[in-house]
Structure 1
Amino acid sequence: MSRSVGEVMTREVVEAHRDTSFKDVARLLDRHRISGLPVVDNDDKVVGVISETDLIRCQAARPADSRTRTFRKPVLRRSGRRAAAVARATTAAELMSTPAVTVHPEQPVADAARVMERHHVDRLPVVDEEDRLIGIATRRDLLRVFLRTDEEIRQDVIDNVLTRAMCLPPHSVIVSVRDGMATMEGQLEHRSDIPLVVQLTWRIDGVVGVVNSLTFRIDDTHPPEQHAADVIARPWMLQH
């Protein structure tokens, strides 16, 4: 079924501390060929995240020469004060974006992807129950679920959706997968089972779409029709 963040995260994390210098942060990013890293305190708890963008923003905010300083207004707006603080940053504590957006290892990969999109970040520190750093999940890590072969996806649907979840007889549903698109063909006993099969198949890692060609033998989505005699008799019975 759907994999968790803990299954795809990178466990060996390059990290910085509050007092790590600007140059040392730049060296870490360059040496390990990464675009960002978490900042932790002495208890390994994540306090912020630094990206290449933070370093570039810091450099860009610094005045080109001393003459630029003479034209600064005596009172800065909030955005101006922030820019000035960024320009003076020399340590990880001053460079980092905070609070850090984190995830837990048991969360589904899809949830982590939504968190990334919502907060416009490229990496998520993974923390344990005590908020201590145990890994990092990047966009590349999350995308691994879509690199599964069609045969791996097909077998996952058969084993986990049809056999375990739905307890369907073998070969009652034919599954084919092409480029992540799963096609379901066959007949189920009840109509109400069809949307459940489709929903569970969508949750399989690597599935990008589901083509539903399933039929049913019994329509259990509507209550049975009442007999006309019953409808007529009930009012009479209530009066006596």
Structure 2
Amino acid sequence: MVNIEKYMKREIAGVGQEDNIQTVRNLMLKEDISRLLVIEDNKAVGIVTKKDIARRLAQTRAPWQRRPIDKISVSRIMSTELKSLLPDTRLEDTARLMIKESISSVPVIDGDDRLLGIITTTDLIRAFAENLEGVYKNRDLMTENVITANRYHSLYHIVTLMEENSISRVVISDGNKPVGIITVTDLSFLDLNDPKKGLKMKRIMYVRKPQRDSRASYRYVLHSPLTAEDVITENLITTTEDEDCSRTAATMLKNGISSLPVVKNDELVGIITKKDLVKGMAKR
């Protein structure tokens, strides 16, 4: 397989340590990217990702104790333990490094540690689509144990599932039927604050269990945090166990998504993610 020099990005969007999270979010949206290198003197000194932002926004402190994201500097949330590669590194070796270190991007440097570019999982997926047709079916690489939630779980619960299981998405299901998905991108770019009313809340009506010989009564929870149904992406793109993984990779690239639920007779039987495809590349 070819070297990463063919697939790496040479135009690098970066930020400084003193930039704020609002600036980071805006730049990620503008450039349609999920991580930014923190750069000083043409050298990468750290990285900040959507997951870092989602983790910060999901903190459970009271609304009045939360610091506005335009007041939080990149240095407070960035990761500083960076791995780096030379441009002549093979794609499969890059895939092995990403899996071993649980990372989704690696700076590419020259012999003097000067930054040349970045290689990401998306770049590896493009290489997968172009080079590995006929090698794997979805059933060979998919994850069968899918982490799911329902529409009424809180966003804090969703983030907790992501953290505890080291995943970047949670499938929202109705029984065993997938009805939507929430990704770390959805949470990172969610506007949690209403400029007029403060932190967004919703009213939820629930049925109080009736006492003997009395009717059920209804109550409103006046201050309930947002739930999965407020964020869910419902136009779900799915795939099957027998689909060629190179076509799955192409579908991910075409639609700008990082995972596809795998269904059989409309029921959820697994999920295939960019990470699963990278694992497949690492086996080569």
Q: TM-score, normalised by structure 1?
A: 0.50
- Cα deviation code 1:186-233 (max 9, x no counterpart): xxxxxxxxxxxxxxxxxxxx9x98xxxxxxxxxxxxxxxxxxxxxxxx
The DSSP-based 3-state class of the residue aligned with 1:54 is helix
2:14 corresponds to 1:15: yes
Aligned partners of 2:3, 2:103: CA distance in 1, in Å?
19
Residue deviations 1:17-36, cap 9 Å, x none?
Answer: 11111111111111111111
Larger-Rg structure: 1
Runs of 4+, deviation exceeding 6 Å? none
The CA distance in 1 between the partners of 2:111 and 2:71, in whole Å, is 32
1:98 CA displacement: 1.3
1:58 aligned counterpart, secondary structure: helix
Name whichever structure is richer in strand by fraction: 2
1:27 counterpart residue number: 26
Deviation at 1:131, TM superposition (A): 1.8
Question: Deviation at 1:93?
Answer: 1.6
* Letter aligned with residue 61 of structure 1: Q
Any idea what SS the aligned residue of 1:38 has? strand
- In structure 1, what is the Cα distance between the partners aligned to 2:92 and 2:39? 26
Shift of 1:136: 1.0
Q: 1:91 to 1:143 in 2, by over 3 A?
A: same
Cα pair 2:23 2:70 within 8 Å, conserved: no
- Counterpart residue identity of residue 56, structure 2: C
Deviation for aligned residue 1:39: 0.6
User: Would you say the 8 A contact 1:122–1:139 is kept in 2?
Assistant: yes
C-alpha RMSD of matched pairs (Å): 3.3
Query: Unpaired segments of 5 or more residues in structure 2?
Result: 134-243, 246-280
Q: Give identity over the alignment, percent.
A: 30
Counterpart secondary structure, 1:61: coil
Are the counterparts in 2 of residues 38 and 46 from structure 1 also a CA contact under 8 Å?
yes
1:130 equivalent in structure 2: 112
One-letter amino acid of the counterpart of residue 50, structure 2: E
Shift of 1:147: 2.6
Which SS does the other structure have where 1:147 is aligned? helix
Decide which structure has greater helix share. Answer: 1
Partner Cα separation in structure 1 for residue 131 and residue 2 of structure 2: 15
Are the counterparts in 1 of residues 37 and 47 from structure 2 also a CA contact under 8 Å?
A: yes
The equivalent of 2:128 in structure 1 is: 146
Contact 1:89–1:95 (CA<8 Å) still a contact in 2? no
Distance 1:130 1:150 in 2: 34
Report if aligned partners of 1:62, 1:88 keep a CA contact under 8 Å in 2. no
TM superposition shift of 1:65 = 3.1
Q: Against the structure 1 CA distance between its residues 150 and 24, is the aligned structure 2 distance closer, same or farther, given a 3 Å change threshold?
A: closer
Q: TM-score with structure 2 length normalisation?
A: 0.43
1:226 is aligned to none
Look up the equivalent residue of 1:137 and give its one-letter code: I
Query: Contact between 1:123 and 1:137, CA under 8 Å: does it hold in 2?
Result: yes
CA distance in 2, matches of 1:112, 1:149: 15
Aligned length: 139
